[in-house]
Amino acid sequence: TTETLSRLKVVLTVTFFIASLFLLFYSADYTVKYAELLSIDFNFPPILIGLFLVALGTSLPELSFNMQAVLKGHKDMALGDTIGSVVANSTLVLGVTALIHPIANGLFLFLISSIFMIIIAFLFATMMDKGEKLNWKEGITLVMFYAFFITVELYIMNIRNGGIWNDCY
């Protein structure tokens, strides 16, 4: 069946889209501002706040979508969203950011993150090849790799910044 759109519905949809876009940019500004304040207050490098807190916050909507998709039996949508998100963040978001302002002093962090991405991609491919599905044990393994990644990043940041967290313990 073909559904005709009324002029009012189109206007309301466009208005909602523009308002949502405004709220997105407004909230992004606050996210950057308060992430910077957190890094200053806790004496953490800003890259660590971005790597952990901001990245986790931006991943929660995807996690929610993926859980709903899996619970409703749309496992392909969850997998497509996850892969698409990685590709979009690795290319589109990083590329546009570099166009606005060059990204510097992150080569070592990039190398460590790349190594983890390669390991996880290999691990994921191995898990999918084994049974064409992920079970709860494999899910726990992936979550533990994320925790290990954060631990390694914390350790490296601590060493690179002269042991700034030694005073915290």
CA distances from 169 to 56, 62, 64, 159, 165 (A): 25, 35, 35, 15, 7
- The single-letter DSSP state of residue 3 is -
* Predicted local confidence at residue 106, as pLDDT: 64
Contact between 129 and 123 (Cβ < 8 Å): no
Q: How far apart are the first and last CA of the chain?
A: 66
CA distances from 71 to 67, 76, 79 (A): 6, 12, 13
* Predicted local confidence at residue 72, as pLDDT: 94
pTM comes to 0.66
* Predicted local confidence at residue 88, as pLDDT: 84
Contact between 120 and 142 (Cβ < 8 Å): yes
pLDDT tens digits along 35-76 = 889 888 988 778 778 877 888 888 888 889 999 998 999 988
- Look up residue 43 and give its two tokens: 């004496």
Alpha-carbon distance of 65 to 58, in angstroms, equals 12
CA distances from 47 to 41, 103, 164 (A): 14, 12, 14
Q: What is the pLDDT along the chain (169 residues), one digit of tens a residue?
A: 456 778 889 999 999 999 999 999 999 899 889 988 988 898 877 877 887 788 888 888 888 999 999 899 998 898 888 888 888 877 888 888 888 888 776 677 778 888 888 898 888 888 877 766 778 888 899 899 988 988 888 787 777 666 554 444 3
